[in-house]
Amino acid sequence: MLSPADAANRRPLAPSSEHSGIVDCAVYIEGERQPGEWHYAEALAAARRERQRHAFVWLGLHEPSEAEMADIAETYGLHELAVEDAVKGEQRPKLEQFGEVSSLVLRTARYVGHGELTETSEVVETGQVMLFIGPAFVITVRHGDASKLSPVRADLESKRELLEQGPWAVAYAVTDRVVDLYVEVADHVEGDLDALEAEVFARNSHGRIQRIYQMKRELVEFKRAVLPLQRPLQTLTAQVNREVPKEIRRYFRDVQDHLTRTVEQINSYDDLLNSVLQARLAQVTVDQNNDMRKIAAWAGIAAVWTAIAGIYGMNFKHMPELDWTYGYPVVLAVMLTISLALYRLFRRSGWL
C-alpha cells in the first residue's frame, strides 16, 4: 500500500470530458492495484517513488485525441514519432525502442458473425493496440472495438505473481489476448471456407464468384494483421533480449506458438481459397462452353430450314417439284425430319 503521505497528496483523476480517451489509470505495487482514481501524472510520480516495491502505472486509452496524447507523451517522456503512430492507429505490427521506452504495435481482429456470406459481407474486423512499455509504466492505446482490454486487466489483477513482474507482464497479457482472438477468428473463417467450398462443388452449383473474391479480401485483411507480428515476437523471445524479464519471455514463447499455428492456418486457407477460386473459374468456363454448344446445335437445326427455304425461295421457273401438288407439305416434312434427326444426334452427343 502507499504511505499515508502519498495517499494524502494524491490528486484524483478529474472527471473525464466527453471526448477523453482515458479508460482507466491505476497504480500497482507488488502486484496489487492501489485503491481510488488516479491522475496519470500523479500515478507516475507515485510509481517512481515506490520502484523498490515493483510499482508501475497502467494507463489505458481508447482513441485519444492528439492534444490529450501530446500531454501524456510529455508527462511520460514518449517519443514524438511513436505518439504520432498511436494517434493515427494505422500501423503494421512492429516493435521499436526509444531509449528506455519500448513501443509495441499489435493489430487486433474480431470475427463478424453473419447468416450467409454475401458479396459485401464483413467477415473480419480489425483494429490496433499500441503499447508503450517503460521502466515504471505501461500505456495501452486502443483503436476500434476488435479487442477490448478491460477483461485483460480484470484477469491480470487476479494473478498477483504475474502482475508483480511489472509492465512487461501487461504487454504479455495484451498480446496473448490479441493472439487468442486470432485463433478464434481463424476457426470461424474455416467454417465459412468449408461452406463456400461445399457450395462451389455442389451439383448444379450456381454460387456467385463475387462471394469468393469477398472472402479473399477479408482473408487478406486478416493476414495483414497476423503475419507481421511474427518478427516482433521473435525479438521479444530472443535470449539476448534484456528488456523483457526472463520469466515473461517464457510466456511470450507460448504466445508465439499460438501465433505460428494461426499463421499456418491462414496460409492453408489462402491455398484452399485459391483452389476454390480456380475451380469456380473452371466451372464458369465449362458452363460457357456448354452454352456455346447448345447455341451451335440449335443454329445447326435452324440452318436446315434456312437452306431449304432459301433454295425454294430463288423462284426459278424449272425447279424440281415446283408445280407438284404435294411439294409444300413434303418439303416441310423433310425439314422437320432432318431437324428431329439432328436434335437426337445432338442430344446423344451431349450438346443439348
Q: For the segment 260-311, what is each residue's pLDDT rounded down to a tens digit?
A: 999 999 999 988 888 888 777 777 777 777 778 788 888 887 887 788 777 7
Strand order across the beta sheet in which 94-98 lies: 32-33, 22-29, 56-62, 137-143, 124-133, 101-111, 94-98
Domain ranges for the chain: 4-283, 284-349
In this structure, are residues 288 and 209 in contact, taking their beta carbons and an 8 Å threshold?
no
Could you tell me what percent of the chain has a pLDDT over 70? 89
Amino acid 12: pLDDT? 46
In this structure, are residues 106 and 178 in contact, taking their beta carbons and an 8 Å threshold?
yes
Indicate if 284-349 has the same CATH topology as 4-283.
no
Superfamily for the 284-349 domain: Magnesium transport protein CorA, transmembrane region (1.20.58.340)
Amino acid 171: pLDDT? 95
Does pLDDT of 4 surpass 50? no
Highest mean pLDDT among 14-23, 124-133, 271-280: 124-133
> How many alpha carbons fall within 13 Å on the CB side of residue 1?
7
- Could you write out the DSSP letters of every residue in 149-190? SHHHHHHHHT-HHHHTT-HHHHHHHHHHHHHHHHHHHHHHHH
* Full-model pTM: 0.77
Please write the tens of the pLDDT for every residue from 209-222. Answer: 788 888 888 899 99
Which CATH entry fits the domain spanning 4-283: 3.30.460.20, 3.40.50.9100, 2.60.40.10, 3.40.1350.10?
A: 3.30.460.20
Amino acid 7: pLDDT? 47
Helices (H), the chain: 4-9, 40-49, 66-76, 80-88, 150-157, 160-163, 167-200, 209-226, 230-237, 246-312, 327-349
